[in-house]
Every structure is written in C-alpha cells, then in structure tokens.
Amino acid sequence: MNSYEAKQAARKARFEERAAKASAESASTYKRARSMGEAIPFGQPILIGHHSEQRDRNFRGRIHNTYGKAFALQDKAAHYASKAASVGAGGISSDDPEAIEKLRAELASIEQSQERMKAANKAIRAHKTPEDQAAALVAIGFTEAQAAEAVKPDFCGRVGFPSYALSNNNANARRIKARIAELERRSQREDVEQEGNGYTYREDTEENRVMFIFPGKPDEDTRSLLKSHAFKWSPSRGAWVRQLNNAGLWAAKTIRAVLDETK
C-alpha cells in the first residue's frame, strides 16, 4: 500500500467510524423517545383546561423532538456510510504516486480486449452457422458460455461485438493515453514557491496541489474569491488548495491577478 492508498484507507475508516457512531446515537435516541412515549397511557388525550395541560404539551413536544433527532442521526449515519463507500470508487486518481503504472496496466487490458473483440468478429465472419461460430470462438480462448452469448443475435440481428463497442473501447484507450501523457509531463514539473502581496503561492508536485498560504485567516472577499475558483481550505496543509492541473493553474493565475491588484 503506497502513501496515497494509505490515506484513502484512513479516510474510509474515518467515515465508517462516523457512520457507526451516528448509527449508535440514533438507536439510543430512538430508544429514549420510545421510553418517554410509554410514560403516557395509550390513547390518553391532552386534558384541555387541566392544570397539567401545558406540562403535558411540553412533554409531548420533547418526545417529538427526540424522535426527530433520532431520524436526523440516522440520516447522518447513512451520509457517512455513503461517503465511505465512495472512497476509491472514482477510478485511478492523479494523486496516486502509482497512477501512471496503474493507467498503463488499464490501457494494456483495454488494448487486449480490443484485439480479442476483433479476433472474435473475424472468427464469426469466417463461419456461417451459430454452432461453427461458437466453436471457433472457443478455439481462440472464449468459454462456451461467452461464445454462446457472442453468437446470439441482438435486437438488430447482429452477432459478435458491435462496432460501437469497438469504438467506445478505442475512445477509452485514447483517453487513458492522454492521461498518461499529461501525468508524465506533470512528473517533470518543478516545485514553485513565490511571494505575493499578502500570500505565498506554491505549486507542490509531490502533493499534486496548487496552493495559497496566508499569514492569517484571509478576509471574506478573498475567501469568496478562492471558493469561487474551487479552492478549498486544507487544515492539514494550512493552505487553500486544489489539484495541480491545467484548470488549477489557470484558476490560480486569475486569483493572483486579483489579489496583486487589490492589495
């Protein structure tokens, strides 16, 4: 597990811990609300005009609010469980120090799949009956179940792998090649640190972040400017950051122009 994967695992664990804590609090709060409700005899109405009316209304109001807190905590638990499940589900991140190697492995798999589909279509075209076509596919490495599925006509009567599947696969291959090229260019980038009027600007290649560092909390206008360009406060770095890519660099250039003009 590399440093990025360790961070992702720790992040997932934090979300899971928060989900478990909120779930436990929800259960205990719901149990308390039920216990409060059991103190009122079943079917007992509020006695209008009785000296106990206001106290009874207040008590019932607390029961209602306690149930509401339980349901809110349940929603909170579901929120963190969802965030935990999404960690690592977004594909290969540019923050991963092994991203280039992983992308190359993914590209190799896609290219292998492309050749496999082309070979299957060639084998199918060389035979006329579904039985012979399926046998030809098994001969080049397909399982019998895969071969039977491949020679089954689709809604247009086509057999084998349709042209759009090959086109989509090629598009994925081009996309991954472009990402690899971009990451290779980025790996040659040198760190940058420059002083501006009231801030330090930094391009950190190891962190894969472009960042603004201020001596204290920036004013509201500056914070709004940073947020409007997708910069987020990172307590661990003590800086306002976003990913070090072309969009991040362009946004940083825009922000610097404003800050250097106004300060």
Per the domain annotation, does 30 fall within a domain?
yes
Structural domain for 32, as ranges: 3-86
- Judge whether residue 124 has pLDDT over 60: yes
Confidence of residue 239 (pLDDT cuts 50, 70, 90): very high
Per the domain annotation, does 94 fall within a domain?
no
What is the mean pLDDT of the segment spanning 59-68?
Answer: 93
Per the domain annotation, does 93 fall within a domain?
no
- Judge whether residue 243 has pLDDT over 70: yes
pLDDT digits (tens, 9 = 90+) for 157-166: 889 999 999 9
Instruction: Measure the CA–CA gap between 194 and 99, rounded to whole angstroms.
Output: 28
Q: How many domains does the chain have?
A: 3
Per the domain annotation, does 92 fall within a domain?
no
Would you state the pLDDT for residue 262?
66
For 95-157, the DSSP string reads TSTTHHHHHHHHHHHHHHHHHHHHHHHHHHHT--SHHHHHHHHHHTT--HHHHHHHTS--TTS
Q: Are residues 108 and 169 in the same domain?
A: yes
Final residue of a domain: which of 155, 186, 217? 186
Q: Are residues 123 and 161 in the same domain?
A: yes
Per the domain annotation, does 61 fall within a domain?
yes
pLDDT digits (tens, 9 = 90+) for 175-221: 999 999 988 988 888 899 999 989 999 999 888 899 999 999 999 99
The residues facing 202 across adjacent strands are 193, 211
Q: CB-based contacts of 157: which residues, under 8 Å, 6+ apart?
A: none
User: What rounded mean pLDDT belongs to the chain?
Assistant: 92
Q: Are residues 80 and 16 in the same domain?
A: yes
Q: Are residues 69 and 121 in the same domain?
A: no
CA dihedral 33, 34, 39, 43 (to 10 degrees): 120
Q: Are residues 103 and 181 in the same domain?
A: yes
Q: Are residues 241 and 162 in the same domain?
A: no
Q: Are residues 158 and 105 in the same domain?
A: yes
Q: Are residues 80 and 107 in the same domain?
A: no
Encoding tokens for residue 133? 């076509």
The residues facing 70 across adjacent strands are none
Would you state the pLDDT for residue 181?
93
Q: Are residues 109 and 124 in the same domain?
A: yes
Rounded to a whole number of angstroms, the distance between the first and last alpha carbons of the chain is: 45
Q: Are residues 210 and 241 in the same domain?
A: yes
Q: What is the DSSP letter of 213?
A: E
Would you state the pLDDT for residue 12?
93
Would you state the pLDDT for residue 186?
83
Final residue of a domain: which of 157, 186, 215? 186
Q: Are residues 103 and 182 in the same domain?
A: yes
Q: Are strands 232-234 and 209-213 parallel, antiparallel or unpaired?
A: unpaired
Final residue of a domain: which of 186, 214, 229? 186
Would you state the pLDDT for residue 129?
93
The residues facing 194 across adjacent strands are 201
Would you state the pLDDT for residue 263?
53
Q: Are residues 110 and 156 in the same domain?
A: yes
Can you tell me whether residue 233 is helix, strand or coil? strand
Instruction: Measure the CA–CA gap between 259 and 246, rounded to whole angstroms.
Output: 20
Confidence of residue 39 (pLDDT cuts 50, 70, 90): confident
pLDDT digits (tens, 9 = 90+) for 3-38: 888 889 999 999 999 999 999 999 999 999 999 998
Percent of the chain with pLDDT over 90: 73
Of 121-135, 177-191, 222-236, the poorest mean pLDDT is in 177-191
Instruction: Measure the CA–CA gap between 88 and 72, rounded to whole angstroms.
Output: 27
Per the domain annotation, does 91 fall within a domain?
no
- Judge whether residue 249 has pLDDT over 80: yes
Considering the entire predicted model, what is its pTM? Answer: 0.71
